[in-house]
Amino acid sequence: MTAYEKACENSEGGAFLRREGLYSSQMTEWRRLRDAGVLAGKKAGETIGKLSADQAENARLRRQLEVSESRLQKTEAALELMGKLQAFLESASEDMPDGPRSRKR
């Protein structure tokens, strides 16, 4: 699983799946099981039962938290950039002469 995630970071996820003869739906299911904690302590090839309602809810909430944290990071970065831009524009406007910039004809 971690090999697939590393491949995805390098934009080679599809090539990994083809090479290993896997489908993306399998990776999605394995991720869901991993996030729900079902795979913890299991050996390769060991039978895994269905998720309990609590495990499924935990997996859903973890994914929702990941998405929310990602959006928060992007929002914070955008706000920081906007603050810097505002400071730059204020500084630039203070450096401009007080007279009119152009004449009307």
26-79, pLDDT tens digit by residue? 888 877 777 777 777 666 666 677 777 887 788 888 889 989 999 999 999 999
Q: Is residue 91 part of a domain?
A: yes
Domain of residue 72: give its range.
2-40+48-95
Note whether residue 15 is domain-resident.
yes
Residues 86 and 64: beta-carbon distance below 8 Å: no
| Mean pLDDT (whole number) for 81-91 | 94
Question: Quick check: is 24 in a domain?
Answer: yes
Q: Examine the pLDDT at 105 and tell me if it is beyond 70.
A: no
DSSP string, 45-80: T----PPPHHHHHHHHHHHHHHHHHHHHHHHHHHHH
How many domains does the chain contain in total? 1
**Residue in the structure block whose two tokens are 């730059």:** 88
The tens digit of pLDDT for each residue in 28-43 reads: 887 777 777 777 766 6
Q: Do the domain assignments include residue 101?
A: no
Q: Tell me how far apart the alpha carbons of residues 8 and 24 are, in angstroms, rounded to a whole number.
A: 11
Mean pLDDT (whole number) for 7-22: 88
Cα torsion angle, 69, 73, 79, 80, sign: positive
At residue 83, does pLDDT exceed 80? yes
